[in-house]
Chain A
Amino acid sequence: MLEARLEQANLLKKVVDAIKDLVQDCNFDCNDSGIALQAMDNSHVALVSMMLKSESFSPFRCDRNIALGINLTSLTKVLRCAANEDILTLKAEDAPDVVNLVFESAESDRLSEYDIKLMDIDQEHLGIPETEYAATISMPSAEFQKICRDLMALSESVSIECTKEGVKFACSGDIGSGSVTLRSHTNVEKPQLNVEIDLSEPVALTFSLKYLVNFCKASGLSEQVRLCLSNEVPLLVEYALSNNSYLRFYLAPKIGD
């Protein structure tokens, strides 16, 4: 059986909120290392990969591998019933028909309990190769969100160019063009504002802004976001969570001329 207790419902609320417009029905794969989810969007252009390690829960118990097929719209409805600071416990039997969610207020004696019916989801699982990326950029997640939103007003695509000079986000559309360039930057007082660029060779790739703006819904989960790029491979956008848990998005590039 599965029993996983989260100190704050807010974490799961934010994760589901960040991915529910990209993917609809997903398997939450539970085993003794934690709860994982991998799902592609309908167009097979973007992929969500979530890992909530067992250390992110206290306690965490999962005796055998269980796949919980959950519709994220249903999960959102139930998670709205939890206060952000509620303690959340997920429970399921070994061959479950439902997943049980319990919300407890740490401050009062309220205890709410909901069951969500599970679905059989036949999901394609993609093997993501270990990649040594040519460029890794860590930057404030709010800054990345603003850049994506700003450029989307002009164009549907953005080119991301990373050189020794810095990283340049550029677009051009019907009304004109625009770009934002960031250089490495260290803020000792506020390290969450740092921009760190780690480059082994220059990269230039083009991506659809629609998906990037969608990924940025995860900005509330982490002050910093990490972008990993290599020429001609999908972009990795990573929001690191506590205890080595993470929410990652992969986006296939636009290619050819």
Chain B
Amino acid sequence: PKSQATLGKFFGTQ
């Protein structure tokens, strides 16, 4: 089963 990623994995904090 796939698990839900969060956006922090892809987008950096500014």
Contacts and interface: CB of A to CB of B under 8 A. Distances in A.
Interface in B1-14: 1-14
Interface stretch (A107-115, A126-134, A186-194): A126-134
A126 B6 CA distance: 12
Contacts of A254: 2-5
Contacts of A128: 11
Nearest to A126: B11
A43 B7 CA distance: 9
Nearest to A254: B2
A256 B2 contact: yes
A103 to B, nearest CB: 35
Contact of B10 (A157, A208, A252): A252
Contact of A255 (B3, B7, B11, B12): B3
A124 interface: yes
B12 A253 contact: no
Interface of A: prevailing SS: loop
A252 B2 contact: no
A77 interface: no
Given A254-B3, A254-B4, A254-B5, A125 B13 contact: yes
A250 B7 contact: yes
A124 B13 CA distance: 7
Contacts of B10: 233-234, 252
Contacts of B9: 252
B6 A44 contact: yes
A254 B13 CA distance: 21
A45 B4 contact: yes
B8 to A, nearest CB: 6
B2 to A, nearest CB: 4
Given A157-B2, A257-B2, A252 B12 contact: no
B7 A45 contact: yes
B5 A252 contact: yes
Contacts of B2: 157, 206, 254-257
Closest 3 CB pairs of A and B: A254-B2, A126-B11, A44-B6
Given A126-B14, A253-B5, 10 more contacts: A43-B6, A45-B6, A45-B7, A125-B13, A126-B13, A206-B2, A250-B11, A254-B2, A254-B3, A255-B3
